[in-house]
C-alpha cells in the first residue's frame, strides 16, 4: 500500500462529521512533527484547527483544507460502509475520499517527499487545516486567518485541496471564486378580503414590477475570469393559507453571486434604488457577506501548478471561477495568490463517494513538483 493511500484510509475511517475532527489532525500532526513542523492547535467552540509551519523565511507556501465531512445519507444505500475505506477497481470509497481527505493525504506525502529531497529548502511550508468547512464556517479557517493577521504572519502562495477537476485529474484549477451576498426583502401592503380590492394593497402585485426589473438588470459584465453577476430569488413567502385573503406582506430570500467587477456596496446601493423607484414600502435585511470574491491572475502560482499538472498528467489545465464558495475566500485576505486544486468532483457529497487511487498518487506528485518550482531556486 502506498503512503498516500494508507494515510487517506486512516483519515476516512474517522467519523469527522462537521464540525468534528475525530482525531484526524492528531494523525496528520504526528507525521508533520517528524518533518520538523511547528504545530499550533487553535480550538474554537467545537471546531479543531491546525496551523503547522516548517521554516520562518519567505516565501511561504501553504496547503489548506478541511477534515470535516458532510453526513453520509442512508448508510445502507452505500455499497460499502461510508467510514470503512474500501478499494474496488482502483477507486477508494468512503465519505470524504474526494472532499477532501484524499487531497490532505496527498498534501502530507508530497511534503514528506519534498523535505526528504530538499531538507534545507528555500522559504517555508505550512498546512492550515480545519474541521469547520462543510458547516457554518465561523470557527474554522477564518479564525486561523484572524490569528495570523494579528501577528502579521502572511502567506505568499496557497493551494486549497478542494475537488476541482471535471473529467480527468488536472483539467481544472480554480483561480478565484465569486462573492456571495444574501438578503431578506419584506414588501408591505394592506391585508384584507379578496372580494374588496379597493380596501387592500396586494404586496405581491406591488412587488412584481420591481422583481422583474431586478431580474432583468445587468449588474456587471463580468471580466476575463468571472461571468456577469447573478441575482436570484430562492424563496417567496406570502399569504395566510386562505384563498380569500390578500396578504399584508410578502417575503423574499435572495442572493447575489458576484464577480470582482462589483462590490457589496455597489450592489446594495443599486438594489435599494430600484425598490425606491417603484415606490415600495419595505424592510430589507442584509446578511453578513459570506464571501468576498477573490482572484489569482496568471502568475507564479498558476504557472507553477499548471506546469506541474502538465508534467505529471500531460493535461493542459483550464482556469475557472465557477461553483460556490470555499475557504479560499478567507485565506485571500492574507495571501495574494490562492488557487484550488484537487481530484475529480463527480461524487462529492454523494452516496459511494470515491477517488481514484492513481489520481491521489498523481496529485501528491503535482503538489511535490509545485513545491520544487516555488521553493527551489533555478528549478
Rounded Cα–Cα distance for residues 223 and 214 (Å): 21
- Residue 89 to residue 355: CA distance in whole angstroms: 11
Residue 365 phi, psi dihedral angles, 5° rounding: -70, -35
Angle at 32 between CA 24 and CA 161, to 5 degrees: 60
Q: CA geometry: angle at 260 spanning 258 and 261, to 5°?
A: 90
Cα angle 144, 349, 166 (rounded to 5 degrees) comes to 95
Give Cα separations from 23 to 73, 104, 157, 162 (angstroms).
22, 14, 27, 21
DSSP state of 77: G
From CA 367, how far away is CA 58, in angstroms rounded?
A: 18
What's the rounded Cα separation, in Å, for the pair 338 and 154?
12
| Rounded CA separation 202/247 (Å) | 7
- Residue 28 contacts residue 50 (beta carbons within 8 Å): yes
Q: Are 338 and 162 in contact (CB under 8 A)?
A: no
CA-closest candidate to residue 46, choices 26, 29, 68? 68
Query: What are the catalytic residues?
Result: 68, 133
Amino acid at each position: 500500500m502506498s503512503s498516500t493511500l494508507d494515510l487517506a484510509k486512516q483519515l476516512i475511517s474517522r467519523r469527522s462529521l462537521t464540525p468534528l475532527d475525530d482525531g484526524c489532525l492528531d494523525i496528520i500532526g504526528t507525521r508533520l512533527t517528524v518533518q520538523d513542523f511547528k504545530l499550533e492547535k487553535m480550538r474554537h467552540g467545537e471546531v479543531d484547527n491546525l496551523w503547522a509551519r516548517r521554516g520562518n523565511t519567505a516565501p511561504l507556501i501553504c496547503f489548506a483544507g478541511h477534515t470535516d465531512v458532510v453526513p453520509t445519507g442512508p448508510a445502507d444505500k452505500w455499497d460499502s460502509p461510508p467510514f470503512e475505506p474500501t478499494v474496488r477497481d482502483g477507486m477508494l470509497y468512503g465519505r470524504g475520499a474526494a472532499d477532501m481527505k484524499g487531497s490532505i493525504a496527498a498534501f502530507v506525502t508530497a511534503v514528506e517527499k519534498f523535505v526528504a529531497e530538499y531538507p534545507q529548502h528555500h522559504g517555508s511550508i505550512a498546512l492550515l487545516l480545519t474541521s469547520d468547512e462543510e458547516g457554518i464556517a465561523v470557527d474554522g479557517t477564518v479564525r486561523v486567518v484572524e490569528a495570523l493577521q494579528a501577528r502579521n504572519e502572511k502567506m505568499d502562495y496557497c493551494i486549497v485541496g478542494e475537488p476541482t477537476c471535471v473529467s480527468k485529474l488536472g483539467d481544472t484549477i480554480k483561480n478565484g471564486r465569486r462573492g456571495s451576498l444574501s438578503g431578506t426583502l419584506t414588501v408591505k401592503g394592506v391585508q384584507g378580503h379578496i372580494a374588496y380590492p379597493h380596501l387592500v394593497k396586494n404586496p405581491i402585485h406591488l412587488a412584481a414590477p420591481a422583481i422583474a426589473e431586478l431580474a432583468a438588470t445587468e449588474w456587471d459584465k463580468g471580466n476575463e475570469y468571472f461571468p456577469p453577476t447573478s441575482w436570484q430569488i430562492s424563496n417567496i413567502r406570502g399569504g395566510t393559507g386562505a384563498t380569500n385573503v390578500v396578504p399584508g406582506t410578502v417575503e423574499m430570500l435572495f442572493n447575489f453571486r458576484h464577480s470582482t467587477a462589483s462590490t457589496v456596496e455597489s450592489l446594495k446601493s443599486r438594489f435599494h434604488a430600484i425598490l425606491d423607484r417603484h415606490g415600495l414600502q419595505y424592510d430589507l435585511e442584509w446578511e453578513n457577506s459570506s464571501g468576498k470574491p477573490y482572484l489569482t491572475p496568471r502568475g507564479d502560482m498558476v504557472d507553477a501548478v499548471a506546469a506541474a499538472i502538465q508534467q505529471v498528467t500531460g493535461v493542459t489545465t483550464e482556469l475557472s471561477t465557477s461553483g460556490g464558495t470555499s475557504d479560499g475566500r478567507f485565506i485571500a485576505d492574507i495571501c495574494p495568490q490562492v488557487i484550488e486544486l484537487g481530484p475529480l468532483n463527480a461524487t462529492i457529497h454523494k452516496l459511494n463517494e470515491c477517488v481514484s487511487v492513481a489520481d491521489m498518487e498523481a496529485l501528491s506528485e503535482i503538489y511535490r513538483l509545485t513545491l520544487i518550482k516555488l521553493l527551489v531556486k533555478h528549478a
